[in-house]
Amino acid sequence: MKIAVLYGGVSGEREVSLSTGTGMMNALKAKGHEVIGIDFHPNHITEITKLDVDLVFIGLHGKYGEDGKVQSVLDMANIPYVGSGVLASALAMDKSKAKQIFDYNGIPTAKSRTYAKYENDGTLREQVLQHFTPPFVIKPNQEGSTLGLTIVQNEDDIGKAIAEGFQHDDEIIVEDYVKGREVTVAVWGEKGKEEALPIIEIIPKNDYYDYESKYKVGGSEHIVPAKLDDDIAATIQKYAVLAHQLMGCETYSRVDFIVTEENIPFILEVNTLPGMTPTSLFPDAAKAVGISYEDMIEKFIHISLQQ
């Protein structure tokens, strides 16, 4: 097949996307496909609309890639691609709206409130303190890879954390800090037939699973499968598949959770275009069931063609 890979982009996750794109292109070439690599920029949309390919792999992360914008361009140009469509991508990227959907459908989430930049009139710190007591989390509503995220340990940090969040987005989420074990679940399959791969527990070298822990070699330890009671593991996998379906995801996604000492799993987010770098989690989950990186990428193609 003739396949284009979009990678790079202009978001804060560009460096990660470059690595993801390289991995995808190498895997596709190893499987005998003709590959066209495109370092994507929103100013060059016409380059995308004129693609003459059988399929597109989107190796972009964050804004202008994972948020549905590129998907809408491909849809209008009638170019097939691997992964979730416009609505699912936009919903999953909007953490506030996604949390509302999870709450409504019985998937536990941390208590949170969303604030817009126009509300930052000098009273936002006091508004936050009316509802939250440190420690709590402040993060951009639409951003990935923990960019702009702060764990507020004391009241003196609130102003700086708010400013940091608004540097990345016009909305921020403030939510309770949930202490526990970080786990993630890779989900894939045709619509209605999705399945969860083995749960991975993430043990970061830093205080929490930050950007460095995610993408630096040796930045975190991945335990596959996670050492969880069977009932808890089954519940987390059920929630992961349900979250994937609620968002309307297609082909694959990765769903992140925190599991408390009381064994309550709190969902963090659904990643519609999870990283595919050498240190990424989805390839580790596939490897745990005997599927190589190259075969995993090929399976994404197979699933997409069956949709």
113 has catalytic annotation: no
254 has catalytic annotation: yes
Residue tagged active-site, from 120, 275, 284, 293: 275
Q: What is the DSSP letter of 14?
A: H
292 has catalytic annotation: no
* CA–CA dist 53, 243 (Å, integer): 31
* CA–CA dist 211, 18 (Å, integer): 15
181 has catalytic annotation: no
From the number of C-beta atoms within 10 Å of its C-beta (0-12, 13-18, 19+), residue 141 rates as buried
Residue tagged active-site, from 9, 11, 12, 13: 13
47 has catalytic annotation: no
Residue tagged active-site, from 145, 213, 220, 304: 145
Is the omega angle on the peptide bond into residue 135 within 30 degrees of 0, that is, cis?
yes
Q: Which residues pair with 112 in a beta bridge?
A: 175
Residue tagged active-site, from 11, 89, 120, 271: 271
Residue tagged active-site, from 210, 254, 293, 298: 254
13 has catalytic annotation: yes
263 has catalytic annotation: no
Opening angle at CA 290, ends 289 and 292, nearest 5: 120
Is the omega angle on the peptide bond into residue 42 within 30 degrees of 0, that is, cis?
no
269 has catalytic annotation: yes
Residue tagged active-site, from 143, 250, 269, 284: 269
Nearest of 245, 236, 182, 247 to residue 208 by alpha carbon: 182
Residue tagged active-site, from 209, 215, 239, 293: 215
Catalytic residue numbers? 13, 145, 215, 254, 256, 269, 271, 275
